[in-house]
Chain A
Amino acid sequence: MAEFEPKIVAFCCNWCSYAGADGAGVARMQMPTNFRIIRTMCSARVDPEHVLRAFSKGADGVLVLGCHPADCHYIGGNYRARRRIALLRMVLEQYGFDPKRMKLEWVSASEGEKFQKTVIEFVDTIKALGPNPVCSKEA
């Protein structure tokens, strides 16, 4: 069997993390290509519903990336986001997901390297976890 190549959805906020990802690309940093970026205006725009929808459609992992605490372009968006994500993590665990399938990380516009590191580590984590369990069983 070929090695499992996970599908990962990465939500990046427009003001920091998307710019960070862009920086990583411009600097030609090497990283796995398993992720698709969805740009949102702020990490707080990432509704838990979006994450659940990604999992329900077969994403193996979801990254939510935003500005560092105190750096959100909209002042408090990431403080909201981290609370929602914490609650969502509980919900995912109750469903039976490994909570490591979803990760919230802060990546600033200048942190191309951190973006690269986050993606590499996350892809490794998901490879170890295996495919999304939603697809394997639906009555």
Chain B
Amino acid sequence: MSWFSDWKEKRAKKKAEKAATAAAAPAKKEAAASSAPAAAKGAKAPEFIADSPIDGYVPGLGAPPGGKINIAIYWAAACGGCDVSLLDTDEKVLNIGDMSNILMWPIATDGKEKDIEALEDGEITVAMINGAIRNSENEHMARLLRKKSQILVSYGACACLGGTPALANLVPGGVNEIKDYVYGVTPTSANFIADGGRKLEDVMPRPEYNAPEGTLTLPVLYDTVKTVDQVVDVDYYIPGCPPTQKSIAALLDALVGFVYRGEALPPKGTTVGVIPKSLCEECHRHKENRRITEVFEPHEVLNIDHDLCLLDQGILCLGAGTIAGCGAPCTKADQPCRGCYGPPKPVSEQGSSIFTAIASLFPIEANDAKMNEDDMDDIMSVIKDPLGYFYAFSMSKSLIKRAVNEGGQ
């Protein structure tokens, strides 16, 4: 653990140095703090330790020359996995602490909405939003953080593509149908209503409630779940469910370069951590003729061949319609790619692009010319739930974003 004692030493030295300069020039620091990133330009680079033991982690980084930057992390309609991926950064989280004041991070710190509201516009350097926009509160917070931040990052599959929450768009009756089911039909709710002699209205949440103490409000759910960039302007995207440590390190490296050395940030709109080709190129499996006649769930295939393309084994893998960069952890673990990184750049619709490719892998039959379209329906019906499967992550970004009702409303 020599790097650790090294790190402690450096850290102590840095601290002493800092105290000395702070005492010598308190006025200078104050002036710099108000425009941290700009002031960082031309500032002396800190000493980077060449053999940093953890990829992306810089021991003894210390505060940026222009003072700490402000960051905020918010969860919208999220599962918490994205926040955990940020907590999972191990030592790198210390660099985040060196570099910044975390003004808001619901999973880990105490910052509240009113604290953000009290800030000047642009006072936050980087805000990261994970999760989809599922209700009015999500949208309000996204707009608020956009207003207060210089850089806004859409973090994770839900924020970038809609992700799992956006599958709610496929409920034909929208929010009302979902609420009726959750509060009226699920056994716990139904029993609760029946046991207490209650009515559905008694348990149904209402967006406004007049209590003796005043009016209480709840966020309003949306019928159509949206991505972050469908409600506010986004600067960077980090895909993944959740994003990989490699992507986080890439963002952190860019930020460290920016705040400590005044280096240019990647161009606006950059998707961090991707490689502009399809996942199949990153996947270690070799491809044979890839003809599908039967479809299996991974658990139905005993002895999955670890080196053969999963499509060759009848397991529907979305790699061909997914952008590379994650390192294909899923196919390494004998699981198909579910497409969490989103489509490769030129592709606008991930779902249709992948099911088009997969439909083409069904072989032509000897008597194809004599078959009719009903026979085709039979052949293709081995694929269950194509909409849910091929659009599992990208519903908010698809061409048709929600269920439709024939014959008017």
Question: Do residues B399 and A90 form an inter-chain contact, with CB atoms below 8 A?
Answer: no
Contacts of B351 in A (CB 8 A): 91
Contacts of A89 in B (CB 8 A): 377
Question: Do residues A87 and B406 form an inter-chain contact, with CB atoms below 8 A?
Answer: no
Of A52, A130, A134, the residue contacting B349 (CB under 8 A) is A52
Chain A residues 76 to 119 lying within 8 A of chain B, measured CB to CB, are 76, 79-80, 82-91, 94-98, 104
Of B358, B359, B369, B404, the residue contacting A96 (CB under 8 A) is B404
Closest Cβ–Cβ distance, residue B395 to chain A (whole Å): 10
Question: Do residues B356 and A69 form an inter-chain contact, with CB atoms below 8 A?
Answer: no
Question: Do residues B405 and A137 form an inter-chain contact, with CB atoms below 8 A?
Answer: yes
Of A56, A68, A80, A95, the residue contacting B359 (CB under 8 A) is A80
* B381 close to A (CB within 8 Å): yes
* A120 close to B (CB within 8 Å): no
How many angstroms between the C-alpha atoms of A139 and B168 in the bound complex? Answer: 13
Beyond A83-B379, A84-B359, is A49–B352 a contact (Cβ under 8 Å)? yes
* B79 close to A (CB within 8 Å): no
Nearest opposing residue in chain A for B408, CB measure: A136
Of A48, A129, A137, A139, the residue contacting B352 (CB under 8 A) is A48
Beyond A48-B355, A84-B359, is A76–B380 a contact (Cβ under 8 Å)? no
Interface residues of A, count at CB 8 A:
37
- How many A-B pairs have beta carbons closer than 8 Å: the answer is 122
Interface residues of B, count at CB 8 A:
46
* B362 close to A (CB within 8 Å): yes
Question: Do residues B399 and A49 form an inter-chain contact, with CB atoms below 8 A?
Answer: yes
Question: Do residues B170 and A94 form an inter-chain contact, with CB atoms below 8 A?
Answer: yes
Contacts of B360 in A (CB 8 A): 80, 83-84
Beyond A86-B379, A87-B380, A91-B387, is A49–B409 a contact (Cβ under 8 Å)? no
Contacts of B170 in A (CB 8 A): 94-95
* B386 close to A (CB within 8 Å): yes
Contacts of A121 in B (CB 8 A): none
Contacts of B409 in A (CB 8 A): 136-137
Question: Do residues B408 and A130 form an inter-chain contact, with CB atoms below 8 A?
Answer: yes
Contacts of B222 in A (CB 8 A): 139
Closest Cβ–Cβ distance, residue B172 to chain A (whole Å): 5
How many angstroms between the C-alpha atoms of A87 and B295 in the bound complex? Answer: 14
B382-409 near A? 1/0 per residue, CB < 8 Å: 0101111010000000111111111111
B169-204 near A? 1/0 per residue, CB < 8 Å: 010101000000000000000000000000000000
* B217 close to A (CB within 8 Å): no
How many angstroms between the C-alpha atoms of A133 and B377 in the bound complex? Answer: 24
* B297 close to A (CB within 8 Å): no
Beyond A83-B379, A139-B223, is A56–B408 a contact (Cβ under 8 Å)? no
* B364 close to A (CB within 8 Å): yes
Contacts of A136 in B (CB 8 A): 404-405, 408-409
Contacts of A36 in B (CB 8 A): none
* B27 close to A (CB within 8 Å): no
Contacts of B21 in A (CB 8 A): none
* B47 close to A (CB within 8 Å): no
Of B353, B358, B373, B398, the residue contacting A82 (CB under 8 A) is B373
Contacts of B174 in A (CB 8 A): 139
22 A-B contacts, Cβ less than 8 Å apart?
A: A49-B356, A69-B370, A69-B371, A76-B364, A79-B368, A80-B359, A83-B362, A83-B379, A84-B360, A86-B359, A88-B352, A91-B351, A94-B170, A94-B388, A96-B172, A96-B405, A98-B406, A130-B408, A133-B408, A134-B404, A138-B224, A138-B401
A-B pairs with lowest CB-CB distance, top 10: A133-B404, A94-B387, A139-B224, A86-B376, A69-B369, A70-B369, A86-B380, A56-B399, A84-B359, A49-B352
Beyond A49-B353, A130-B406, 18 extra complex contacts between A and B, CB < 8 Å: A48-B355, A49-B399, A52-B398, A55-B400, A69-B369, A70-B368, A82-B373, A85-B373, A86-B377, A87-B383, A91-B355, A94-B387, A98-B406, A133-B406, A136-B408, A137-B404, A138-B402, A139-B402
